[in-house]
Amino acid sequence: MRRLLNIPLIVILMGVGALAMFVPVLHALVLRDWLSARSFFYSGTIFLFLTFLLSISTYDSRRPRNLTRNHLLALMLCFALLPAMLAVPFLEAAGGDVTFLDAYFEMVSSLTTTGATLFDDPATLAPSVHLWRALVGWLGGFFLWVAAIAILAPMNLGGFEVTAIGGIRQSEAALYSVDPRGLLLRYSRQFAPVYVGLTLALWLILVLLQADPFVAFCHAMSTLSTSGISPVGGIEGTLSGIPGEIFVLLFMGFALSRRTFTREIGEGGIQPLWRDPEFRLGLLFVVVVPALLFLRHWLGAYEGATEGDMIAALRALWASVFTVLSFLTTTGFIAEDWTAARAWSGVSTSGLVLMGLALAGGGVATTAGGVKLLRVYALYKHGMREIERLVNPSSVGGAGVVARQIRRQGAFVASVFFMLYTVSMAIVMTGLALTGLSFEPAMVLTASALSTTGPLAGVAGEVPIAFSAIGAAGKTILIGAMILGRLEMLVIIALVNPAFWRQ
């Protein structure tokens, strides 16, 4: 296995993608879908042979001068070039009037766990093609788990810059000075059983709740990867109902903090999950926002004299809790009773609430996108400390070295990231406006792409926005926005930094 790491990372990822193409082949053979089976089999065979040739020609046992830079560059190439390979079987199996740009858009959306789709009617695509979309999103989510710890963490990127003290922690400096290829292998072995086990556990639970096995499997992969990809257009309307939504909500909680699936040693040893600031802030959102939404719906129901329907009220409250956590983790699943809640109260739910939750995002080093909860927490603690100093100028902030780091340098870096994020939104919105879109659709689509929450486009605006109605120029801009939203602007800046390349 260590000899395989002498091959460039992008070539290894090509091999994984080529092997994954044989999974839809087996599924298509069972369904007797010969077109999909041939498309994925031929593509997988050709790309597997191409990967073999590239592995031989690029194999090098020598240690490069800057392995971290090479792997960071491979990380960007993964989301920019690998979807071009993954789009080939999709293009062949989809058929019809599908262009390569459409197939590339779908694969970028899946690999970045965005979940945006150009096919408004799920029946347009064969079941094996839906399986391919969900599988690519699931693999993209696992790659994010591993890459965040093995590549971004040593460079204090991806949200780790908020808690970094003096660059890299002294206790981890020796580990991070080791070959990053070893870290990739180590964390892949460590996280793979957890990721696969959680996916299979959720799938089994949904099947026991009478959900269709194929749909349940796609939803299980989409939940763990927070891609929100569904072969039936969403989790609503499935046979599992509210019991299934309860278990999906529990598994979406893994995107609130990396400490839900890995241990991290702090100042006082291994910290319990309830003391993690990201997890607590996420739970605060899940409690406060649904309560406000329910209050708004209850007032609307009171004015309409329907407040006596307690069952409808409880279902509306549950729909708010599920949908809030879904968009906070950038999954994008909508509760079955979300529409019924609005019908019960007679008032609509503002899409700006869901857009704000998606932009806030989930935890650092998880499959969730957005700004990340740790950065939001750093700005919150800095603001509270400034208010405290206004009230009592002689006060001294405590809570340890890490807390002071978050309130000072961490908050400063978080504010810089927010500024870059805002500039990125302005640039993408301007580009979409130049293609002919009005202000509201441009804003919603920009937030959907940068936060990697594709289903946001269907619920955030006054009317649902279809990605299929966007022209080729708009699709190209959104592809770049999805890649930028997944990599984050700080990674792009690190790649174009001249000092980074001189090292």
In a domain, 232, yes or no: yes
pLDDT of residue 154: 78
In a domain, 321, yes or no: no
How wide is the angle at C-alpha 357 spanned by C-alphas 75 and 414, nearest 5°?
Answer: 55
pLDDT of residue 247: 95
Interatomic CA distance for residues 210 and 240, integer angstroms: 6
Tell me the residue length of the chain.
503
Interatomic CA distance for residues 413 and 121, integer angstroms: 43
In a domain, 244, yes or no: yes
Dihedrals phi, psi of 335, to nearest 5 degrees: -65, 150
Interatomic CA distance for residues 453 and 333, integer angstroms: 10
In a domain, 281, yes or no: no
In a domain, 449, yes or no: no
In a domain, 434, yes or no: no
Burial class (CB in 10 A: 0-12, 13-18, 19+), 316: buried
pLDDT tens, N- to C-terminus, the chain (503 residues): 667 778 888 899 999 999 999 999 999 999 999 999 999 999 999 999 999 999 999 887 665 666 666 777 888 889 999 999 999 999 999 987 899 999 999 999 999 999 999 998 999 999 999 999 999 999 999 999 998 888 888 778 888 888 776 543 433 343 445 566 778 888 899 999 999 999 999 999 999 998 899 999 999 999 999 999 999 988 876 778 889 999 999 999 999 998 887 766 444 445 678 888 899 999 999 999 988 887 776 666 555 555 556 777 788 888 889 999 999 999 999 988 887 666 655 556 678 889 999 999 999 889 999 999 999 999 888 888 788 888 887 776 666 666 777 777 888 888 989 999 999 999 999 999 999 999 999 999 999 999 999 999 988 888 889 999 999 999 999 999 999 999 887 777 777 766 555 55
Dihedrals phi, psi of 394, to nearest 5 degrees: -90, 0
The boundaries of the domain holding residue 146 are: 71-266
Domain count, the chain: 1
In a domain, 118, yes or no: yes
In a domain, 141, yes or no: yes
pLDDT of residue 474: 96
pLDDT of residue 301: 59
